[in-house]
Amino acid sequence: RQLSDKFFCVYLDATYIPLRRDTYQREAVYVAIGIKPNGHKEIIDYRIAPVENIEIWGEMISNFKERGLEQVELFLSDGFVGIKDMLKQYYPKSKFQRCLVHVMR
């Protein structure tokens, strides 16, 4: 679906949950949650993959642009290696902040 052209904040994180496919293994579920300027929250995108990696984050962020998201004021993430630089490629004016919960861990 098309996205709003602007989000105040986009929160990016992945968590591992057990999935039963051919075997019973934990896989990464990537989630992107957007907060609009009026405070409304929505799930922008999600993906499931065996492990967390920068290529999948890149696919998701690229997909945001294709679906109409032009401006994000702030990205919040766990500080996954390379994510900050990758976000700057697509949204150079956006700020980046590491999630406080992840910092405290």
Residue 25: Cβ within 10 Å count = 11
Q: What does pTM read for this prediction?
A: 0.84
The ranges assigned to domains in the chain are 6-104
Measured CA to CA, the distance from residue 4 to residue 44 in angstroms comes to: 10
Q: What is the pLDDT of residue 81?
A: 83
> Which of 88, 91, 61, 65 has its CA nearest to residue 4?
65
Q: What is the pLDDT of residue 19?
A: 81
Compute the 3-state secondary structure of the chain and give helix, strand, coil in percent, each to the nearest 5: 25, 45, 30
Superfamily holding 6-104: Ribonuclease H-like superfamily/Ribonuclease H (3.30.420.10)
Joined together, the tokens standing for residue 11 give 């929160």
Q: What is the pLDDT of residue 100?
A: 62
Q: What is the DSSP letter of 94?
A: -
Average pLDDT over residues 82-92: 91
